[in-house]
Structure 1
């Protein structure tokens, strides 16, 4: 069994109740010295003590034993790659010690660094556009991404709800669309109507609550029509589950809440169409062949990739992936992360990522080994995906998706079978130019936000930003 350390949370609980260690020890039926050791994380907590905590303080053991250390450590390491800390950068041992003994300080530091990045980005935008905007405003996408990241991109409540969707019946893939239509009508009184692009221009799906109809555009292919119907079912039937998760998100902005509700409903739809156990088993057996998985479960390539990032159930975990989607201009349009890889949030992704070059070979997998500034290495593979086309004037609506994992998992990925890390060229990359410390990179498009060394006017480096 994994050891569970709850030191900082236990201390916070004790202080919230205004108790001394001796008083808490009496309430839990243990010694004062044991409470002291628990608070210092020098002892792991036992199941009997967990139960006592519930009895004495009404604390759900899942709340106090929640383990978000992995994602926090990844965020902390990524933040400290900022050139601002280049001269004196704490090592991994110091970071782990800070997590154990000063978790609130770590949280405050990360909050401050995110505010610094947001402020820098907004100020740079203001300088170019000359418009007044809120300097520290976070985008709805950023707040939703942070919430999903804190939960390791996995929500067991939605997995459980998805498991009940078919009420224990196995529905063949080719029957699913008709069954979902019938289910919407029987359970919710909703009729599904396919409409022409002329009737519903620039819209793929519309839920008309007053007329009790779900309108689907002809521009949607079959997998996406099915996905949209299950999405609507999730929005309606799982409202209580969604409300509960939103209450835990810490998001109070209306735009962020609406964005998060949509993404959680998307998660539910994916979990219904790609059930956790069967999907994980097929992914492992096929070595994460996403074309095969898409065919096997009747979904799109992108949907199969997205689902793979959510396979983080305790005791039944898949390969931890990050998912990145970009447009032809390099803008990040969607991102999910179950790794310690820090995805671009402000501006475009690193131009050295081969996800950008995948537009030159549509539909083909482009593999790559990459190395971040902190020397962590990842295997990344990218491919283009098509978007719905409404008319001949909106052709070639391609996006590109990239999936990546730590190199320690590369043996489980079929796309890496023809590559060997020892022989393959590893590409040095960064998050994006604005925060990347690689000043000599010949792909640099912007000066780093924090400059460690002044420009030497007597020397011209590989780019106009380096001397």
Structure 2
């Protein structure tokens, strides 16, 4: 079992205390700690324990994840990306300056990032309007609809909420785990027990859709008849997931609504998507209960295929759950999780690490997740280095959903899972690899638009913060050369 890393949160505690207008003595009394002990915490002379961390979160009315190192590092990475935009400032800030900003004014940094994201969306919407009016052939085309307002896309707003929580929702996670224990659920035999629980506790009967249905509807709830219809082509685990999702929406509606209110989502569509996301989270905790799954993952050294067999679930389900194991006092390896389609679109992403995903312009073409489609079903490994020097160890493999007939529609994805290099030896996939060999490290970036690398032959777009060289009499494999070459 991995020893928990020490966590120093002095700057964040001092900032929150001063913001609340409390003296050191007043905060010590609220936390029921000695003055000297709290002083040592604020000066980073002592790390915080799990119990003190929970007290701090409760006292300041914030999430435990607000005190995590990964949260700060992710903020630094996103802020650095934004400030590489030359339309904002001619030169990006130094890393030490970025770190001080995040340390001393995290709320201001988060507000700035929200504004920058809205600015980007407005810029993209403007480009779409221009394309609709002028088109690619130079003629004026009628605008089918007005440009979108620069508000967050629902899926991005919900995804950002999960990322701010380190992909861990304590109340829903514990509710799901307790429910699984209460029903004594066993892998491969979950759906019948959940059907019975849904009938007894919510007065909802489960029926199966026609075997001739196309499988596009996985779950359909008829509120008037109190009937939940499930596609029969689903496995036992998939049926259980859909039933547990509906159970959460009915039996834990109040808890889900409190999570929605706490999220402060911008509109009804986003709130509806958040409800579904929170219900899915509960269902995942029912299928893969936290304590049991974490212990099994550690014993298996995070061997995904072994965990698939043990819990009778899919490759993607295991990877998704591994990225949520961030319960205070019982944390697993902090992973990033990503799902990419064959066009390179990222349809799902979340991270309990400092790994930074591009929000616009596509993922880095050097990232091994794109190679997975050329070798379907095979697990690929990669040691990747981000522009700030942080190295990650990742795996990637293809997976598919749907099917069930020759003409049935099927979705293909590549799944990526990774962690910082310091955790790599905890994974079975790192066995026998020389993780420190410089020739095997692949320099990647968050995306071409914001990547500062000057020597990448795969660059698809020039970066937003660099002036291009005008060199018509010279040409190289590097498509865009910059003034500082």
TM-score between the two structures when normalised by the length of structure 1: 0.85
Cα distance in 2 for partners of 1:79, 1:11 equals 24
Q: Which residue of 1 aligns with 2:140?
A: none
Task: Specify which of 204, 215, 220 is matched with residue 190 of structure 1.
Answer: 204
Instruction: Tell me whether 1:249 sits opposite 2:263 in the alignment.
Output: yes
Q: Which residue of 2 aligns with 1:109?
A: 112
Q: Which residue of 2 aligns with 1:13?
A: 20
Instruction: Tell me whether 1:384 sits opposite 2:391 in the alignment.
Output: no
Cα distance in 2 for partners of 1:209, 1:29 equals 47
Cα distance in 2 for partners of 1:111, 1:251 equals 13
Cα distance in 2 for partners of 1:445, 1:168 equals 53
Q: State the shift of 1:429 in Å.
A: 1.1
Cα distance in 2 for partners of 1:217, 1:29 equals 53
Cα distance in 2 for partners of 1:459, 1:115 equals 39
Partner SS state of residue 400, structure 1: strand
Q: Which residue of 1 aligns with 2:162?
A: 148
Preserved CA contact (<8 Å) 1:305 1:323: yes
Task: Specify which of 89, 93, 102 is matched with residue 89 of structure 1.
Answer: 93
Cα distance in 1 for partners of 2:8, 2:365 equals 41
Cα distance in 2 for partners of 1:265, 1:121 equals 32
Partner SS state of residue 165, structure 1: helix
Deviates more, 1:215-224 or 1:372-381: 215-224
Task: Specify which of 339, 342, 363 is matched with residue 349 of structure 1.
Answer: 363
Partner SS state of residue 293, structure 1: helix
Counterparts in 2 of 1:351 and 1:86: CA distance versus 1, 3 Å: farther
Q: State the shift of 1:155 in Å.
A: 0.9
Gaps of 5+ in 1: 15-19
Partner SS state of residue 68, structure 1: helix
Cα distance in 2 for partners of 1:279, 1:372 equals 30
Preserved CA contact (<8 Å) 1:76 1:110: no
Q: Which residue of 2 aligns with 1:75?
A: 75
Counterparts in 2 of 1:64 and 1:324: CA distance versus 1, 3 Å: closer
Cα distance in 1 for partners of 2:399, 2:365 equals 19
Cα distance in 1 for partners of 2:369, 2:7 equals 37
Q: State the shift of 1:154 in Å.
A: 0.6
Cα distance in 1 for partners of 2:252, 2:390 equals 39
Q: Which residue of 2 aligns with 1:139?
A: 153
Task: Specify which of 431, 435, 445 is matched with residue 450 of structure 2.
Answer: 435
Q: Which residue of 2 aligns with 1:17?
A: none
Partner SS state of residue 190, structure 2: helix
Counterparts in 2 of 1:232 and 1:421: CA distance versus 1, 3 Å: same
Cα distance in 1 for partners of 2:383, 2:27 equals 55
Q: State the shift of 1:385 in Å.
A: 0.9
Preserved CA contact (<8 Å) 1:332 1:344: no
Partner SS state of residue 216, structure 2: coil
Cα distance in 1 for partners of 2:63, 2:373 equals 45
Counterparts in 2 of 1:97 and 1:167: CA distance versus 1, 3 Å: same
Partner SS state of residue 162, structure 2: helix
Cα distance in 2 for partners of 1:438, 1:452 equals 13
Preserved CA contact (<8 Å) 2:76 2:102: no
Deviations 1:230-260 (A, max 9, x none): 1111111111111111111121221211111
Q: Which residue of 2 aligns with 1:329?
A: 343
Preserved CA contact (<8 Å) 2:335 2:418: yes
Deviations 1:381-421 (A, max 9, x none): 11111111264334553111100110000001111213211
Deviations 1:319-351 (A, max 9, x none): 000110011111111111111101232242211
Q: State the shift of 1:222 in Å.
A: 3.1
Q: How does 1:384-463 map to 2 (within 5 A)?
A: 384-389=398-403, 391-394=405-408, 397-423=411-437, 425-463=440-478
Task: Specify which of 360, 370, 375 is matched with residue 374 of structure 2.
Answer: 360
Cα distance in 1 for partners of 2:254, 2:401 equals 32
Gaps of 5+ in 2: 1-5, 134-142
Preserved CA contact (<8 Å) 2:377 2:398: yes
Partner SS state of residue 393, structure 1: coil
Q: How does 1:251-290 map to 2 (within 5 A)?
A: 251-290=265-304
Deviations 1:67-97 (A, max 9, x none): 51531332223331453478453224x3343
Preserved CA contact (<8 Å) 2:457 2:479: no
Q: State the shift of 1:437 in Å.
A: 2.2
- CA-based RMSD of the aligned residues comes to 3.3
Partner SS state of residue 259, structure 2: helix
Aligned pairs, how many? 447
Q: Which residue of 1 aligns with 2:481?
A: 466
Cα distance in 1 for partners of 2:328, 2:15 equals 23
Deviates more, 1:389-398 or 1:143-152: 389-398
TM-score between the two structures when normalised by the length of structure 2: 0.82
Deviations 1:287-326 (A, max 9, x none): 1111111221121111111000110011111000011001
Counterparts in 2 of 1:347 and 1:170: CA distance versus 1, 3 Å: same
Partner SS state of residue 346, structure 1: coil
Counterparts in 2 of 1:86 and 1:126: CA distance versus 1, 3 Å: same
Q: State the shift of 1:46 in Å.
A: 12
Instruction: Tell me whether 1:178 sits opposite 2:192 in the alignment.
Output: yes
Instruction: Tell me whether 1:98 sits opposite 2:101 in the alignment.
Output: yes
